[in-house]
Amino acid sequence: MDFEQTWAILASAFTQIHEKQASKLSFEELYRNAYKIVLKKKGDELYLRVAEFERDWLSSEIERRIHKELPPQLMNALQGRSSAGSVGDDQVRTQGERFLRQLKLAWEDHQTCMSMLTDVLMYMDRVYCADTRRPSIFTTAMSLFRDCILRSHVRGDDSWPDICGTLNHVILDQIRMERDGDFIDKHLIKANVYMLEGLYDSHHEVEEEKLYLTSFEYEFLASSAEFYRALGDRLLKESDAGQYCRETRKRIDEENDRCRSTLLESTTPKIQKVVEDELIRYRMKDLIESESGVRFMITNERHDDLALVFDLEARVDPRKPELTKALQKIILEMGTNLNDAAQLGAAAEAPEDRAKAPADKLVNQQTVAALKWVEDVLELKDKFDAMWKQSFQSDQTIHTAIMRSSAEFINSHPRCAEYMSLFIDDNMKKGIKGKTELEIEALLNKAIVLLRYVQEKDVFELYYKKHLGKRLLMGRSLSIDVEKQMIFRMKMELGNNFTAKLEGMFKDMTLSEELTAGYKGYVARLGDADPRRIDLAINVLTSMTWPVETTNSAPDDARESRLKTIYPPAMERIRQGFENYYKEKYSGRMLDWKGNMGTVDVKVTFPKVPSKGFKERRHELNVSTYAMLILLLFNDLPSGASLSLEEIQARTNIPTNELVRNLQSLAVAPKTRILLKEPMSKDVKDTDKFFFNEGFMGKFHKVKIGIVSAGNRIENDRERVETEKKNNDSRGYAIEAAVVRIMKQRKELSHQQLVTETITQLNSQFKPDVNMIKKRIESLIEREYLERIEDSPSSSYRYLA
Amino acid sequence: MAPHYEQTRDAANAALLTDLSTLLTSEEHTDLKIKLGDRVWNVHKAIVCARSDFFAKACKGDFKEAKDGVVEIHDDYPEVIDKMIHYIYKTEYSESDTELAPVLFNVRMVAAAEKYFVKFLAALAVSKLDYFISNVGTAWGSKDFADAIAEAYTTTHDSDRELRDTLLQMVVAHADMLFRKEFTEFAHFQDMAAKTPSFSAEVAALLAKPLEISPILNIYYCPGDDCRESFRSAITDGQRVKWTCDYCGWEDEDDYSWWQSYKIAELPVVEAT
């Protein structure tokens, strides 16, 4: 066998294969010749000859075909693209496509031919290459394509990029056109991408060295970053934030599609990151804070746009820091506005109107402002809740942010606890009238949600007790059922401790009803069926459960309160009667009668006043117990006689401030002037004289004589100072109790740890003041509950059992 | 007793083989002709291409064979090709009805199996050969045996160790007779040995006096990039070996298990007699 002769047969056949004229060739003949060469141990030579043959073919014929498609003006256009596009897009595009088509063709031909050659050379591949560990001839031929074609320079000019670089430029140029809205031949690009994917940077065929990665993808990502940076600049300047978001979404989707249809899917996450970086991550702050940003969207209820902002930021950071920050800022601002408005509503009219408007009216205005504040807070909360569901996919991070900022502005209102309690009070008295069960349910829920925000739960409890007490005693609650539901909810939310006393109040009310009924029966059984007997309805209140102001008289009258109120004999009899009955049932209990809390229906006959043409009139007056005592004094007085304030006080022992208040409602309030005062003025002085007003004329048979400040309304300054003082006292006790509890368990503890644990324990009730904790610790040391540990590095305490 | 489904399966397998050989003899549905000289086999592309990579490649693509449905082969022995085709359909062949000595026939079968890439055929032929020369006491001394060796060393490739080792084993066992010039009955063999140097070289290597401690000398190739230099080493488990490549300058030291990934071949252990 002659090698050269055999090779000549093969070489001529290979040429025909490359020229696509293989159909006359016999596979067997070619195979047999190659087989014989290898069998004669000339595999090495055959291998080299084939490689040489391919090299020649590629660098003459194929290279010529490719280079022909790269005229100088295309090369210049591709190079000069960044500075000035002198050649028309259309021409560049057509020429580029022709180049892509030619390259695609060359690559596909090369693969087809080499696959045929590989078949013919199967024996060489399997025997010679395997024995000598050479790469298969196919692999070698692919590398040759890379070296001879992709690494060649057009017309041998090194100043221009090689074919591979040119290919990148052409593809990137086409992608640029598509990004600008043109249609391009995606399949054509994809075919070339597959070529880059099939070739490696060197003969080490490792995944990371695919030409697609080393040559193309890097440039694609870099040029994309540049493109989107510029686009971001432009969009921020020219579009509003909503448009920006929509455009960004569109661009991300487009890049995904492009990877699928034109490039490779493995690029998807990388290009996404580029777009996300350029259009979202680096821009989010500017976008959110722009004029048409989140504030604008919230004000104008652009829920879809907000959802887009959320969606975009969530892509780059699950914590959504910019959106969260913006939301918090906006909520805080809106909340602070509400707080300011409430303060303005409560205070603005006060100074100038004080002279004219009665104090009552002012207080009412303030109460209205307080209620409005709560309503506004609820509305704000609803707005953001709706937004949270609609636009923010009920996201946990956003929820926390909304909660936090809401809590912050609500608690920054110094009287939030009082306002919330007033709000519930108002609803219990009026709000729930005519509402369905479902609506009431929603209302209760709202109240509880608000309550959750209030930090000073103890202050709230104080007010709630006070307001609830008045509602219960004055029968102002529309539904005890709803009241109980509210308590139940508070119990679920804040625990047993919080509601124990409130529940006690309800228990007292029930017991009192039983007592009243029981007493009625008791009296009936006594057989003392006095037709003029006075009906008695009684409420027995446990002194520790109810708010102090209901069970105690005003504290500044400490001396007077110890004096026993003098009841007229008829009343005294009933009082004794009930006390006897009560002591029979519960021995060893002290009953303390509260004249300031009760009301009495009094039948009054006003005589004829001929001078005014008045007939005799009968009225049923509903007055406070104290007012009744005052009125009864006038029963024994001849017509036209008067009593001074001092005289009244001497005969009744009513505490001064209560007396003044009752006299004001009896003698000053224009519609219920049962008494006349001399001199006629608003203030009540010790020396004033009071007459029975025989000329009283009421429109209705029944007249209710309210007592100033009887209803639940906002506290005045003096009352608030009192409430604060009371609250501080009870906080002091709570702190001491917590400290003792902790120390009893831990025996020894450093100061810092003790303070931290105390704060943790009390957190659900209120946020304790560190200074207060310090003072309480000092006090406990003085009282020898604790002692300082002398030689300890940090200040520490020991529990003294 | 084998489970029922196994019996069923065995029966089905047997039926499949019977059906396939019926296809061969009936020549039904054939779509490919294999020609050798004036002999023609009508066969089925689906079966032949599945069993032989050569026919698979010949029948695909743009070549003449694919279009004509005829594969004309050359330089082969008709009776060997006939048995090869039998094997393709039946997974076995019988050499008893050939005129050729079994030893020669089977060497030619190995060559055909390698040329046409028929799966497992070479292994079957080698084991038939081995069976024959081991069981026919005088086979090693025959003229056919010498001819078979000559053909084996020219028509199969070097890396086919199985065939060569089978033959060498027999030669080495009787070397003291076969190579002795006084025994003129082996002149034909000695003549063949003189004309087939690669065979003689391998015999000589095997006959060389064994080392005192007979180590297993393995062949390793250089781990250096692209370097195909090889060397031999008797490294065993637990040892380390340092090697410097004369060719590419690569140098490193590592343990036995590391070197195993660079091992090319394990030499047969020669029993010291």
Query: pLDDT tens digit string along A780-794?
Result: 888 888 888 887 777
Mean pLDDT (whole number) for A89-115: 90
Which of A246-255, A627-636, B207-216: highest mean pLDDT?
A: A246-255
Contact B186, B177 (CB under 8 A): yes
CB within 8 Å: B63 and A123: no
CA distance A24 to chain B (A): 5
CA distance B125 to chain A (A): 19
CB within 8 Å: B157 and A39: yes
Out of A35, A41, A116, the one facing B61 most closely (by C-beta) is A116
Q: What is the pLDDT of residue A354?
A: 42
User: Residue type for A83, please?
Assistant: S
Query: Is the CB of A130 inside 8 Å of chain B's CB atoms?
Result: yes
What 3-state DSSP class applies to B24? Answer: helix
Q: What is the pLDDT of residue B6?
A: 82
Query: Does residue A517 register a pLDDT over 60?
Result: yes
CA distance B28 to chain A (A): 25
Which range (A604-618, A656-670, A705-719, B13-27) has the least confidence?
A: A705-719
Rounded Cα gap, residues A99 and A105, in angstroms: 10
Which of A329-338, A523-532, B85-94: highest mean pLDDT?
A: B85-94
* A658/B44: higher pLDDT: B44
Rounded Cα gap, residues A309 and B225, in angstroms: 54
Query: Does residue A503 register a pLDDT over 90?
Result: no
Out of A28, A41, A126, the one facing B73 most closely (by C-beta) is A28
Query: Is the CB of A41 inside 8 Å of chain B's CB atoms?
Result: yes
Q: What one-character DSSP code corresponds to residue A266?
A: G
Query: Is the CB of A126 inside 8 Å of chain B's CB atoms?
Result: yes
What's the residue count for chain A? Answer: 801
CB within 8 Å: B65 and A41: no
Q: What is the pLDDT of residue A747?
A: 81
Which chain B residues touch A130 with a CB distance below 8 Å?
159
Tell me what ipTM this predicted complex has.
0.78
Query: Is the CB of A122 inside 8 Å of chain B's CB atoms?
Result: yes
Q: In what order do the strands lie in the sheet with A617-624?
A: A599-606, A617-624, A702-704
CB within 8 Å: B63 and A35: no
Out of A17, A31, A116, the one facing B54 most closely (by C-beta) is A31
CB within 8 Å: A39 and B155: yes
CB within 8 Å: A126 and B117: yes
Q: What is the pLDDT of residue A531?
A: 55
Backbone angles phi, psi at A552, to 5 degrees: -115, 150
Mean pLDDT for chain A? Answer: 82
Which chain B residues touch A29 with a CB distance below 8 Å?
74
Q: What is the pLDDT of residues A104-116, one digit of tens each?
A: 999 999 999 999 9
What helix, strand, coil percent values describe chain B, rounded to 5? 55, 15, 30
Q: What is the pLDDT of residue A368?
A: 81
Q: What is the pLDDT of residue B80?
A: 95
| A414 alpha carbon, distance to own chain's centre | 22
Mean pLDDT (whole number) for A768-776: 83
Q: What is the pLDDT of residues A396-426, one digit of tens each?
A: 888 988 888 888 888 888 788 888 888 888 8
Contact A450, A374 (CB under 8 A): yes
CB within 8 Å: B115 and A132: no
Question: What's the pLDDT band for A29 if we cut at 50, 70, 90?
Answer: very high
Task: Give the angle subtended at the CA of A63 by the CAs of A58 and A65, to the nearest 5°.
Answer: 115
* A675/A146: higher pLDDT: A146
What 3-state DSSP class applies to A781? Answer: helix
* Strand A689-692 versus strand A675-678 pairing type: antiparallel
Q: What is the pLDDT of residue A227?
A: 93
* A529/A775: higher pLDDT: A775
Mean pLDDT (whole number) for A63-91: 72
Kindly state the helix (H) or strand (E) to which residue B35 belongs, with its residue range.
Answer: strand B32-36
Query: Is the CB of B195 inside 8 Å of chain A's CB atoms?
Result: no
Query: Is the CB of A436 inside 8 Å of chain B's CB atoms?
Result: no
Q: Assign residue A527 a region (left: φ > 0; alpha: ψ between -120 and 50; beta: otherwise).
A: left
CB within 8 Å: A27 and B74: no
Query: Does residue B273 register a pLDDT over 50?
Result: no
Q: Give counts: helices (H), strands (E), chain A.
A: 36, 9
Query: Is the CB of A35 inside 8 Å of chain B's CB atoms?
Result: yes
What 3-state DSSP class applies to A786? Answer: strand
Contact B121, B80 (CB under 8 A): no
What 3-state DSSP class applies to A706? Answer: coil
Q: What is the pLDDT of residue A355?
A: 44
Question: What's the pLDDT band for A548 if we cut at 50, 70, 90?
Answer: low
Query: Does residue A250 register a pLDDT over 70?
Result: yes
CA distance B2 to chain A (A): 42
List all residues of chain B from 153 to 182 with a beta carbon under 8 Å from chain A: 154-155, 157-159
CB within 8 Å: B64 and A122: no
Out of B60, B64, B228, the one facing A26 most closely (by C-beta) is B64
Q: Give counts: helices (H), strands (E), chain B.
A: 13, 8
Contact A67, A154 (CB under 8 A): yes
CB within 8 Å: B54 and A127: no
Which chain A residues touch B164 with a CB distance below 8 Å?
none
Q: In what order do the strands lie in the sheet with A748-750?
A: A748-750, A796-799, A786-788
Q: What is the pLDDT of residue A86?
A: 45
Residue A18, classified by CB atoms within 10 Å of its CB into exposed (0-12), middle (13-18) or buried (19+), is buried
Chain B CA closest to residue A35: B115
Mean pLDDT (whole number) for B120-139: 90
CB within 8 Å: A35 and B221: no
CA distance A27 to chain B (A): 6
CB within 8 Å: B57 and A27: yes
CA distance B64 to chain A (A): 5
Mean pLDDT (whole number) for A198-225: 88
Rounded Cα gap, residues B105 and B95, in angstroms: 7
CA distance A49 to chain B (A): 20
CB within 8 Å: A28 and B58: yes
Query: Does residue B93 register a pLDDT over 80?
Result: yes
Owner of token pair 């060497």: B107
Contact A639, A694 (CB under 8 A): yes
* B77/A560: higher pLDDT: B77
Q: Assign residue A326 a region (left: φ > 0; alpha: ψ between -120 and 50; beta: otherwise).
A: alpha
Q: What is the pLDDT of residue A724?
A: 77
Rounded Cα gap, residues A798 and A743, in angstroms: 7
Rounded Cα gap, residues A66 and A100, in angstroms: 9
CB within 8 Å: A130 and B159: yes
Which chain A residues touch B63 with a CB distance below 8 Å?
22-23, 25-27, 116
- Interface probe, candidates B33, B62, B154, B219, chain A, greatest A C-beta count within 10 A: B62
What 3-state DSSP class applies to A298? Answer: helix
Query: Is the CB of A23 inside 8 Å of chain B's CB atoms?
Result: yes
Nearest to B172 by CA among B133, B143, B211, B136: B133
Q: What is the pLDDT of residue A321?
A: 86
Question: What's the pLDDT band for A351 if we cut at 50, 70, 90?
Answer: very low
Q: Assign residue A640 a region (left: φ > 0; alpha: ψ between -120 and 50; beta: otherwise).
A: left
Question: What's the pLDDT band for A283 if we cut at 50, 70, 90?
Answer: confident
Mean pLDDT (whole number) for B172-186: 89
CB within 8 Å: A133 and B74: no
List all residues of chain B from 54 to 113 with a beta carbon under 8 Å from chain A: 54, 57-58, 60-67, 71-75
Q: What is the pLDDT of residue A300?
A: 87
Q: What is the pLDDT of residue B255?
A: 80
Would you list the DSSP string of A36-51?
A: HHHHTT-HHHHHHHHH
Spatial neighbors of B258 by CB under 8 A, at least 6 apart, are none
Backbone angles phi, psi at A458, to 5 degrees: -70, -40
Percent of chain B with pLDDT over 70: 92
Global pTM exceeds 0.90: no
Instruction: Centre a 10 Å sphere on the Cβ of residue A66 and count the other Cβ atoms it contains.
Output: 22
Query: Is the CB of A206 inside 8 Å of chain B's CB atoms?
Result: no
Q: What is the pLDDT of residue B69?
A: 92
Chain A CA closest to residue B230: A132
Does the bond joining A638 to the residue before it have cis omega, within 30 degrees of 0? no
CB within 8 Å: A22 and B63: yes
Rounded Cα gap, residues A318 and A314, in angstroms: 5
- Tokens for A655, please give them: 């505490």
Query: Is the CB of A133 inside 8 Å of chain B's CB atoms?
Result: yes
- Tokens for B242, please give them: 């340092």
CA distance A259 to chain B (A): 33
Query: Does residue B83 register a pLDDT over 90?
Result: yes
Query: Does residue A735 register a pLDDT over 50?
Result: yes
CB within 8 Å: A35 and B158: no
What 3-state DSSP class applies to B75? Answer: coil
Contact A32, B76 (CB under 8 A): no
Rounded Cα gap, residues A450 and A493, in angstroms: 11
Rounded Cα gap, residues A742 and A748, in angstroms: 9
CA distance A118 to chain B (A): 10
Rounded Cα gap, residues A751 and A776, in angstroms: 12
Query: Does residue A44 register a pLDDT over 90?
Result: yes
- Give A41-47's long-range contacts (Cβ < 8 A, gap of 24+): A41/B158, A42/A3, A43/A124, A43/A127, A43/A128, A43/A129, A43/A132, A44/A128, A44/A132, A45/A3, A46/A7, A46/A121, A46/A124, A46/A128, A47/A124, A47/A128, A47/A129, A47/A134, A47/A137
Backbone angles phi, psi at A750, to 5 degrees: -75, 160
Which range (A56-60, A336-340, A363-367) has the least confidence?
A: A363-367
Instruction: Centre a 10 Å sphere on the Cβ of residue A308 and count the other Cβ atoms it contains.
Output: 21
Nearest to A43 by CA among A30, A51, A52, A34: A34
Rounded Cα gap, residues A25 and A27, in angstroms: 6
Out of B62, B115, B228, the one facing A35 most closely (by C-beta) is B115
CB within 8 Å: A23 and B63: yes
Owner of token pair 């070097």: B158
Rounded Cα gap, residues A582 and B202, in angstroms: 128
* B10/A605: higher pLDDT: B10
CB within 8 Å: A28 and B61: no
Out of B58, B154, B228, the one facing A132 most closely (by C-beta) is B228
